[in-house]
Chain A
């Protein structure tokens, strides 16, 4: 009846997990009780859970991303404290069985459920607003994307309390991830949560690519597209070219484990080399999928806070395209040590090095955007300066490892771990956090308190160097990644420093949480100076989203904007906004739908049942999902019109706020 699931699957003998479970349960019950007490279930369902509005989905993505950031960060804290303790005979407090799950969960969560989630949040919120669209091309699919991501994140967290998680790292290398060496359910949790979230990401890629190609406002030529949207465009291209490869690799691994096939097993003609090639031909583009939108965020922020257009817009677009291309043909640099011939290694090494060219160009572009500008160091701008310094160093170590002759000694070392945290934290994370603080007022109509953002930056910046410079050092001392304990006295002091560093990072994270809490507090109390009246919160916004009121009405644009070139809103501020030529018209919008949550529930059921081999539940999930889709396809009542009265009322309210803002000056 319940497949492999028995009472003994619950790790009640591991105190850390029991404690975590109690904590999560208490918080969960408190949240549910609060929603019930304030009678918000109806509101939550009607306004949020069934929404197809890209802005609300973006906010839900952010909440999910932040929760998973805390989860992944807790894993990081555990790893660093374990390595600070587990020296010279001391086993530390995490035995390998637990520790190995922690590092696997950390990587999987941070990439799939923090970074990818934040990226989709930014796509959702920013892209339609920047191109003058009223929604994405397929609003319902957008909601389904979110639910696929959400339920796979839930699935990975269920593995904490029921069964176990994968213990073989974030990419699940065979043959150790095969049944022969790994008969438990951990790898199955990994496979299905990655697989389900991959469906969501693939749909997002398709959705936003279509949106950018088809839904740009009249007059927006390709070279009028704001840089963030360009980076989203290229990231979507890479999602569409590479995520199917991930799906296939996971599917083949699942076939090995479930049906006894031999794609990647040691015997029966399986080849681990096949898996490495497949997974990295997704995995390497994946890091560019993450970093390109961060580059986009920095481009927007650099221009806004320097009071100047972005230097070298065309160059920026071309460089992004080149990175997209080169990023897709360098995957072998993840295994120069596999024994490929010198010519193969040389090709992939040199291609990897060449990625430094367009990336370097981008750094120079941001540099020359600041040059002869009027740079205002509000919160978001801090992150970009920190990014340019940190990312340059990370890029340098990246080029160092692009040379096979050097990589052969730093491969799989903590030097490598330091390198990718250098670019992922210094690049992706700094970028997404900057983006969050940059667009936050646009989403909520309230500013965050900048001082907490600045403190968050300082802690993250210092904490990063404290945490990861030591890892570069121990990497050079020959320390490999994923070690649980060690006895080399040279490594110990460095790992103690890294442990201090991670607590500094924790302080940064705490500042960010405080910043969000205070913003919510200000919003509830309607604190007047936190209000964003004009919609152009930073005063120097250049792209279309800043022309809208904050928060943005659900239909985005009362009249579709007329695009007059790059940075239309800036042009309008300079030359004056043309008087509207057309009367307001009813706006055609999609209705909210329960299909997303329904399919999400099916996905969760199917995923969980597959992990535990509960076959009847898999069938139930598939059948319900099928009929949900059939029902939706037969349902013609899926849209409505926003009335002219509503739009006019919104417009007049916005005009009053603008007037009030002007009077206040």
Chain B
């Protein structure tokens, strides 16, 4: 084992994620809710688990065969008092936890917009939500900011103290969109749109990940989530829009250029596919997200299901789903 330590370099002074236990040191009200529920349940359960473990050890020791002084009731196997106790205590505990369960499942429902209460708590009661459309691809994340007309790959920049409304889909296999320090995760599934509402209450640089296995590039299907004050965020948006930065893509993101990013990188069996680099798009064709969802549903999204599709030009080129690139090497 000693040799393994060679691979353990000195801890970099400034790690992007910081030296945090992500789930116990959340950076937003949803994450705090997740943590509070987890800690609460842990605390309540410990009230039973600790006594049980102690009792196991005490009984095992006290009633060991060699301790002939201990009382021995060789035919005793029933006691109404104990039965009431052993059914009653777990039922009571679970009833209490069930109450919390009902409340927290509704209060922190990922589909529910960030509540006024949470906004007041972070001191920005009137902040308008930021809409972000999330698309999971092989093996990268595409973030479209529909209101801002920009998009990024593998980097999610958000303002702090602003409700984040995510609409999530996949244009490949199913996975899960997860930023541990901000809280709850939700699946991304092709042809379907899921929703998630989060908020960052403080600036930070958080790890973001695909939490459901997606193939050979899975381990590098990660993104940094950078939360910054509104002014900085505005500056960042300007920077992206200008197209004048090293990460800028040369072209706008539309149905055609999208195909290039949609393709899975090829990799031989013997190695992992290269991680996808961060890309900024200064311009995004509107309706791209809807057309990605729609291409698995005969051109229809849930919203306009049954009605005419409207702008036909938004349909994805037909070959994109029939000839989707296979995960080479699988």
Which A residues are closer than 8 A to B by beta carbons? 84-85, 87-88, 90-91, 95-98, 100, 167-169, 173-176, 180-184, 186, 266-267, 272-273, 306-313, 315, 335, 337-339, 341-342, 345-346, 349-350, 353-354, 356-357, 360-361, 363-365, 367-377, 385, 388-389, 392-393, 395-396, 399-400, 402-406, 408-413, 473, 475-478, 480-486, 488-490, 492-493, 496, 499-500
Contacts and interface: CB of A to CB of B under 8 A. Distances in A.
A552 B102 CA distance: 54
Given A409-B185, A480-B211, A311 B78 contact: yes
A486 B52 CA distance: 38
20 contacts: A87-B7, A90-B7, A91-B271, A97-B270, A167-B330, A168-B213, A267-B191, A267-B295, A337-B186, A342-B109, A350-B98, A350-B101, A364-B82, A372-B76, A392-B49, A392-B52, A405-B37, A409-B38, A478-B178, A480-B210
A257 to B, nearest CB: 13
Given A354-B94, A392-B52, A478-B180, A490 B17 contact: yes
Contacts of A402: 101
A404 B101 contact: yes
Contacts of A186: 330
A492 B19 CA distance: 12
A367 B55 contact: yes
Given A342-B109, A385-B60, A489-B15, A85 B4 contact: yes
Given A349-B105, A357-B94, A484-B272, A181 B173 contact: yes
Interface in B208-238: 209-219
Given A175-B190, A307-B74, A350-B102, A96 B22 contact: no
Interface stretch (B157-165, B278-286, B307-315, B321-329): B321-329
Interface string B24-64: 10000001011101100110011011001101110110011
A493 B52 CA distance: 31
A176 B174 contact: yes
B94 A353 contact: yes
B23 to A, nearest CB: 5
Interface of B: 1, 4-5, 7-9, 11-12, 15, 17, 19-24, 31, 33-35, 37-38, 41-42, 45-46, 48-49, 52-53, 55-57, 59-60, 63-65, 70-79, 82-83, 85-87, 89-91, 93-94, 97-98, 100-102, 104-112, 172-174, 176, 178, 180-181, 183-187, 189-192, 194-195, 207, 209-219, 269-273, 295-296, 321, 324, 326-327, 329-330
B77 to A, nearest CB: 4
B73 A403 contact: no
A413 B209 CA distance: 11
B330 A181 contact: yes
A578 B256 CA distance: 89
B241 to A, nearest CB: 31
Contacts of B17: 488, 490
Q: Which 5 A-B pairs have the closest CB atoms?
A: A478-B180, A408-B184, A405-B104, A364-B86, A478-B22
B90 A370 contact: no
B104 A404 contact: yes
A100 B273 CA distance: 14
Contacts of B35: 409
A374 B5 CA distance: 48
Contact of A408 (B45, B93, B110): B110
A406 B41 contact: yes
Contacts of A476: 21-24
A568 to B, nearest CB: 15
B91 A357 contact: yes
A471 to B, nearest CB: 14
B11 A489 contact: yes
Nearest to B15: A489
A175 B174 contact: yes
A490 B49 contact: no
B42 A176 contact: no
B212 A412 contact: yes
B213 A180 contact: no
Contacts of A338: 186-187, 194
B45 A342 contact: no
Contact of A97 (B31, B185, B187, B329): B329
A360 B41 contact: no
B20 to A, nearest CB: 7
A644 to B, nearest CB: 38
Residue from A183, A365, A377, A411 with most neighbouring chain B CB atoms (10 Å): A411
A386 to B, nearest CB: 10
A392 B330 contact: no
Given A181-B215, A308-B74, A403 B101 contact: yes
Contacts of A492: 7-8
B174 A173 contact: yes
A313 B63 contact: no
B63 A363 contact: no
B218 to A, nearest CB: 7
Nearest to B185: A337
Nearest to A175: B173
Given A356-B90, A375-B64, A478-B209, 6 more contacts: A95-B271, A100-B216, A339-B195, A353-B98, A403-B97, A477-B23
Contacts of B110: 337, 339, 408
